[in-house]
């Protein structure tokens, strides 16, 4: 009997759940091609061969989109609309044709060189969303190059039922071929929270772990795996004891999911009748189904950055309006809070030349960048107001440090409104302006700010970072990043008090909102609106429905009297834990 060594892998869990079963390895080879020189008389024939491959690829992705729409849903099929657009992108197509003509090289070599260059530019932006979008570009390119090589694009492969898919990466073309009943989960070397693997896994309600770096070097077809998408763990060749343990975990997770499904239509209300509003944070339309499935009461934070990054020209008003309208229509009468551009100048340097900054976190970013370049702000305000015609428009300004930025933003809003009216454009019935409280100066001036705006939204991630002067991604000081530091709690309490005094709602949309223990602490401090990743709404709602408000308020009042983060953490764990 062969005894196999057990291997443990840690990655990023992007879709929760626990499954056990055999691996099915998908080979996703690159599209590198050798260079072949062309005679002058062959150049135009090569251009025609390339254009023919592009057209055939466009036909294939259109048909694949129809298949996915029938098998899964229209929103997941929309990715293939984006692929079809890529296959008409002049930047991609014209550069390739120009390269064939100028370098007199074969289409495969030139096309892959252009693809790789654009993909590297996207990945270099430093934003996870655009880094992941480069995988869509590579997916399209592999399809075209196979056609140039006269190879069949196999959009249907026999996968044994119950398989856990293992791959270096899974683009839309690979994931589209799977049937829900065939597979139980996804495991990939690369990928992040916005990768197509993550999006598809959530849509299919399948566990997934990405970013494992090298797991395909170890796993072979048929190898037995344990996949824990909640904890981001994969175990290859587990022992029987591990199998027994994780089978029980799988049973518990499925029970938990059933419980969460039952909670979907129930209010987030404490045992003594205090109602809490739970909303979702999203950044792309593919998440709307998950928002609905989790029973979110609105979108408390819609990130708009993806329109402006990873491109060589600014987005048009029309394309923004179309996306914003889609979200507003899907949410009906529920509120959607649109946060204006929240990036540093370095991330959109391809469209707006910016000087290098020694400390970009404290530099020209977010609302500072937009006010320094008003065309950026107006380029967002116009399509937002057009999309919200006849509705309420909720606008959220990031990184506000004082009253001046609010006044300047209102002036731009006034001018945009007058301009649209002169054009005969229908306007929103009301524009509600809110600010992110994520800089200590804003928290300290919360009483003044609350009188000037319609709502406040606390971004706890940056508030903690700026209050404690800790870069949370710096391993040398990351341990000092602490949401329960007394200074942070006092600032949050100050903002809540200011909001209540002015009659303005206060939301927390940072990571604290999605953590069960921290969410209960926030409620005890007076927060009545929380916005979080859609998948976290169920556990937070269940916790809220298990406690009394008067108990949370008593705990929070006691924690505000403590002196250190460790004291707060210890007391919080002990006292909140006793409520369940």
- Per-residue pLDDT reduced to its tens digit, 353-401: 666 666 777 888 899 989 999 999 999 999 999 999 999 999 999 999 9
Active site residue 509: yes
Residue 408 pLDDT greater than 90, yes or no: yes
Residue % of the chain over a pLDDT of 70? 85
For residues 495 and 525, is the Cβ–Cβ distance under 8 A?
A: no
Give the DSSP letter string of 456-485.
EEE-HHHHHHHHHT--TT-TTTGGG--TT-
Residue 104 pLDDT greater than 60, yes or no: yes
User: Which pLDDT does position 5 carry in this prediction?
Assistant: 85
For residues 142 and 86, is the Cβ–Cβ distance under 8 A?
A: no
- Tokens at 214, concatenated: 């090298």
- Per-residue pLDDT reduced to its tens digit, 246-256: 999 999 988 88
User: Which pLDDT does position 174 carry in this prediction?
Assistant: 63
The answer to whether the 7-23+155-244 and 40-148 domains have the same CATH topology is no
Q: How many helices (H) and strands (E) does the chain have?
A: 21, 16
| Spans of all domains in the chain | 7-23+155-244, 40-148, 259-271+463-580, 277-437
User: Which pLDDT does position 312 carry in this prediction?
Assistant: 61
Rg (CA), the chain: 26
Distances 122 to 132, 191, 200 between C-alpha atoms, Å:
8, 14, 21
Under CATH, which architecture does the 277-437 domain have?
Alpha-Beta Barrel (3.20)
Residue 473: pLDDT band by 50, 70, 90 thresholds?
A: low
Under CATH, which architecture does the 259-271+463-580 domain have?
Alpha-Beta Barrel (3.20)
Q: Cα dihedral sign for 224, 229, 234, 238?
A: negative
**How much is the average pLDDT of 62-71?**
69
- Residues 40-148: name the CATH superfamily: PtsI, HPr-binding domain (1.10.274.10)
For residues 390 and 428, is the Cβ–Cβ distance under 8 A?
A: yes
- Per-residue pLDDT reduced to its tens digit, 304-314: 887 776 556 78
User: Which pLDDT does position 349 carry in this prediction?
Assistant: 46
Q: Cα dihedral sign for 414, 415, 418, 423?
A: negative
Residue 127 pLDDT greater than 60, yes or no: no
- Per-residue pLDDT reduced to its tens digit, 313-337: 788 899 899 989 999 999 999 999 9
Residue % of the chain over a pLDDT of 90? 51
pTM for the structure as a whole: 0.68
Q: Within 10 Å of residue 457's Cβ, how many Cβ atoms?
A: 27
User: Which pLDDT does position 70 carry in this prediction?
Assistant: 61
More confidently predicted of 396 and 79: 396
Residue 301 pLDDT greater than 50, yes or no: yes
Residue 76 pLDDT greater than 80, yes or no: no
Chain centre distance of CA 308: 15
User: Which pLDDT does position 1 carry in this prediction?
Assistant: 44
**How much is the average pLDDT of 548-570?**
95
- Per-residue pLDDT reduced to its tens digit, 280-292: 998 777 678 778 8
Give me the catalytic one of 135, 370, 373, 509: 509
What is 7-23+155-244's CATH topology? Answer: Glucose Oxidase; domain 1 (3.50.30)
User: Which pLDDT does position 353 carry in this prediction?
Assistant: 60
Residue 126 pLDDT greater than 60, yes or no: no
User: Which pLDDT does position 346 carry in this prediction?
Assistant: 47
Residue 178 pLDDT greater than 80, yes or no: no
Give me the catalytic one of 83, 196, 373, 485: 196
Give whichever of 69-78, 101-110, 154-163, 213-222 has the largest mean pLDDT: 101-110
């Amino acid at each position: 009997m062969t005894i196999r060594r057990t291997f443990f892998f840690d990655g990023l869990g992007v879709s929760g759940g626990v499954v056990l079963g055999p691996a099915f390895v998908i080979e996703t080879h690159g599209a590198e091609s050798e260079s072949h020189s062309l005679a002058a008389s062959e150049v135009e024939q090569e251009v025609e061969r390339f254009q023919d491959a592009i057209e055939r690829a466009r036909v294939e992705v259109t048909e694949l989109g129809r298949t996915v729409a029938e098998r899964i849903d229209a929103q997941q099929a929309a990715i293939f609309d984006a692929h079809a657009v890529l296959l008409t992108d002049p930047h991609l197509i014209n550069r390739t044709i120009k390269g064939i003509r100028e370098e007199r090289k074969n289409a495969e070599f030139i096309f892959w060189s252009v693809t790789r260059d654009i993909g590297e530019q996207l990945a270099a932006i430093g934003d996870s969303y655009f880094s992941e979008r480069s995988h869509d570009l590579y997916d399209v390119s592999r399809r075209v190059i196979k056609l140039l090589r006269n190879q069949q694009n196999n959009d249907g492969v026999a996968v044994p039922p119950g398989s856990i898919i293992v791959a270096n990466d899974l683009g839309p073309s690979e994931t589209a071929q799977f049937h829900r009943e065939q597979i139980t989960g996804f495991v990939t070397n690369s990928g992040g929270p916005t990768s197509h693997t993550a999006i598809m896994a959530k849509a299919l309600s399948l566990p997934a772990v990405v970013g494992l770096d090298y797991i395909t070097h170890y796993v072979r077809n048929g190898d037995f795996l344990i996949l824990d998408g909640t904890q981001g763990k994969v175990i290859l060749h587990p022992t029987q004891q591990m199998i027994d343990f994780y089978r029980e975990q799988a049973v518990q997770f499925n029970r938990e999911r059933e419980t969460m499904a039952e909670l979907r239509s129930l209010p987030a209300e404490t045992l003594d009748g205090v109602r809490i509003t739970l909303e979702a944070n999203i950044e792309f339309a593919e998440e709307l189904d998950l928002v609905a499935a989790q029973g979110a009461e609105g979108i408390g934070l819609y990130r708009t950055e993806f329109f402006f990054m990873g491109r060589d020209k600014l987005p048009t008003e029309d394309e923004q309006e179309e996306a914003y309208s889609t979200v507003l229509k899907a949410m009906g009468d529920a509120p959607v809070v649109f946060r204006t551009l929240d990036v540093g100048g370095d991330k959109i340097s391809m469209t707006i030349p910016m000087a290098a900054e020694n400390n970009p976190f404290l530099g020209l970013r977010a609302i500072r960048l937009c006010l320094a370049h008003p065309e950026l702000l107006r380029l967002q305000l116009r399509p937002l107001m057009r999309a919200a015609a006849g509705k309420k428009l909720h606008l959220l300004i990031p990184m506000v440090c004082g009253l001046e930025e609010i006044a300047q933003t209102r002036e731009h809003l006034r001018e945009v409104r007058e301009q649209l009216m002169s054009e005969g454009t229908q306007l929103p019935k009301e524009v509600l302006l809110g600010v992110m409280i994520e800089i200590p100066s804003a928290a300290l001036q919360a009483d003044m700010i609350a009188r000037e705006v319609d709502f406040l939204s606390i971004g706890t991630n940056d508030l903690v970072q700026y209050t404690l002067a800790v870069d949370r991604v710096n391993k040398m000081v990351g341990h000092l990043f602490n949401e329960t530091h007394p200074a942070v709690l006092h600032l949050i309490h100050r903002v809540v008090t200011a909001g209540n005094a002015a009659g303005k709602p206060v939301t927390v949309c940072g990571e604290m909102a999605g953590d069960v223990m921290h969410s209960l602490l926030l409620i005890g401090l007076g927060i009545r609106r929380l916005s979080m990743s859609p998948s976290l709404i169920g556990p937070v709602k269940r916790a809220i429905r298990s406690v009394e408000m008067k108990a949370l308020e008593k705990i929070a009042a006691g924690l505000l009297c403590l002196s250190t983060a460790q004291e707060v953490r210890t007391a919080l764990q002990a006292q909140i834990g006793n409520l369940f």
